[in-house]
Amino acid sequence: MSGYDPRAVANAVLDTAADFDFEVSNLSLQKLLYFAHGLYLINTGKPLVGGFFEAWTNGPVHPVIYRAFKDCGAQPIRTRAAATNLVTGEVSMPPKIDDAAALNHVRRIVASYGGLSASRLVTISHAPGGPWAETVNKARKSLALGMRITDDATRQYFRFQKVVLAPTDPIDPKEVHEDAPFAPDRLGSHRSTAYGR
């Protein structure tokens, strides 16, 4: 399996965020999409999102999704990603994800991380030893084709996405908690992972 159409996954993230009354910018969407992809890849062995993510300045970015929402700038996204047929020019919505397990996974990610600020999500994505950091470090020493964050790099390094929120962060001190893909989520349950945490 090569993963779902990135626009379909992005739309599922946005629909879920709307259910939780979270506003999501393009920057936030990119991180939520990447965290969902990384955990799905580790838990199932299969990619959630088709295509590839790249290591941009502010963390992992899926170019297809960036282009779909770049006109939104830093504002909350109110539209959904559509596909354009390059031959006919016809615009249509991508098929919705019909796998309940994949949709439930997206829901858990959005419930856990959708309320965090874009800057916090960027910080998490920049965790030392994580896939973004390793891709950037590789590019400094050798060739990193298009700064792509490969699924192999995600499998190998995603466990290092762990970031601990400290009281010095600009958040409510009552909200201080371990904020990582392997930490208990905000719904009070624990995620199962390939690493058994």
The answer as to whether 146 is a domain residue is: yes
The answer as to whether 37 is a domain residue is: yes
Structural domain count, the chain: 1
The answer as to whether 197 is a domain residue is: no
pLDDT at residue 62, as a whole number: 97
Q: In which order are the strands placed within the sheet that holds 59-61? A: 59-61, 53-56, 148-149
The answer as to whether 186 is a domain residue is: no
Q: pLDDT > 90: what percent of the chain?
A: 66
The answer as to whether 29 is a domain residue is: yes
- Predicted confidence (pLDDT) at residue 188 exceeds the cutoff of 80: no
The answer as to whether 185 is a domain residue is: no
- Predicted confidence (pLDDT) at residue 176 exceeds the cutoff of 70: no
- Predicted confidence (pLDDT) at residue 123 exceeds the cutoff of 60: yes
Sign of CA pseudo-dihedral 64, 119, 60, 24:
negative
Instruction: Report the pLDDT averaged over residues 175-179.
Output: 39
Give pTM, 2 decimals: 0.80
Instruction: Report the pLDDT averaged over residues 127-150.
Output: 86
Render pLDDT for 47-105 as a digit per residue (tens, 0 to 9). 999 999 999 999 999 999 999 999 999 999 999 999 888 888 898 999 999 999 999 99
- Predicted confidence (pLDDT) at residue 165 exceeds the cutoff of 60: no
Domain containing residue 82: 6-179
pLDDT at residue 2, as a whole number: 87
